[in-house]
Amino acid sequence: MSDALPTTAADSAAVGFFKVALGVEYKGSRYRGFQRQRAGVPSIQETLERALSKVAGGAPVTLSCAGRTDALVHASAQVVHFDTTVERSTHSWVMGANMNLPADISVTWAKLMPAHFDARFCAMARRYRYVIYNDQIRPAHMAEEVTWNHRPLDVELMREAAKALVGTHDFSAFRARQCQAKSPVKTVHHLQLLEHGRFIVLDIRANAFLHHMVRNIAGVLMAIGAGEKPVEWAREVLETRVRRTGGVTAHPFGLYLVQVDYPEEFELPKRYLGPHFLSGLPDVAADA
């Protein structure tokens, strides 16, 4: 028998090996991020693994994810995968997991994958939306799902400033001190500011992100939108490559992982761009 990995989901099944990919959405407010933490500290990963293990008849399940979202951060389109020798239908993985998950985590789809699929390393790009509720009065609803900014924000100034951050750059000035990425050089494919009622939505897609990169970009753009800094400040901060020049890191509540892009060969299921309360917002071109 060849030692080569199975190249299709059917080949895997034939040798009793299953690689399962899942789509997952969650409200991160009660969790210390996606990644499993020390005992007693709630995480999305541990909660999901516990639920999936029950579906697998008690067999342990270990997840890998497309993006390790931070504490209090949400996702409407996280992608994870796990390897198992337990055979279940994709319907059973979805419904069984959801029966054992709390109300703030949902599995949206499941698919059997070829052995070479990896939720993290096969991803070509990731996309986030940062949702700002711009009003003088703090919101009583969705207070943990949007970032409230009481200062009137000039969206046109924010759009103009955002142009400096599109493309391939060293984003050290937008990188958290504890970031473990090997390189600060990332490529931002698009960075759009969208308006939807009282919401201002920062929509950003890049090949990869640094720790706190989106929240630091949001903090800079909100300072410019509030008139506290000039439009040129975004480029100036970028060019310093020094984090302390970039001001305050924006709050995590408004941040959502909304899309992960993979090669077409994997044919992963597609859903609307989230979060759900923005599902009617027009999409921006993926390669704008």
Q: What is the pLDDT of residues 181-235, one digit of tens each?
A: 899 999 999 999 999 999 999 999 999 999 999 999 999 999 999 999 999 999 9
Residue 73, judged by CB atoms within 10 A of its CB (0-12, 13-18, 19+), counts as buried
The span from the CA of 8 to the CA of 15, in Å, is 11
**Half-sphere exposure for 222 (CA within 13 Å, toward CB):** 25
Name the active-site residue from 70, 83, 261, 283.
70
- What sign has the CA pseudo-torsion 179, 160, 285, 196? positive
pLDDT at 17: 84
Any known ligand binding at 128? Answer: yes
65 CB-contact burial (10 Å; exposed 0-12 / middle 13-18 / buried 19+)? buried
CB atoms closer than 10 angstroms to residue 155: 15
Mean pLDDT of the chain, nearest integer: 92
Residue 2 has pLDDT above 60, yes or no: no
At residue 39, the pLDDT reads 83
* Beta-strand runs (E) in 158-264: 167-170, 185-196, 199-206, 255-261
- Residue 38's pLDDT is what? 83
Alpha helices in the chain (DSSP H): 9-14, 44-55, 90-99, 155-162, 213-225, 233-240
Examine the pLDDT at 14 and tell me if it is beyond 80: no
Does the model's pTM come out above 0.85? yes
| Residue 6 pLDDT > 90 | no
Q: Which range is least confidently modeled, 53-57, 67-71, 157-161, 162-166?
A: 67-71
- Residue 170 annotated to the active site: no
pLDDT tens per residue, range 128-180 = 999 999 999 999 999 999 999 999 999 999 999 999 999 999 999 999 988 88
42: preceding bond cis by omega (within 30 degrees): no
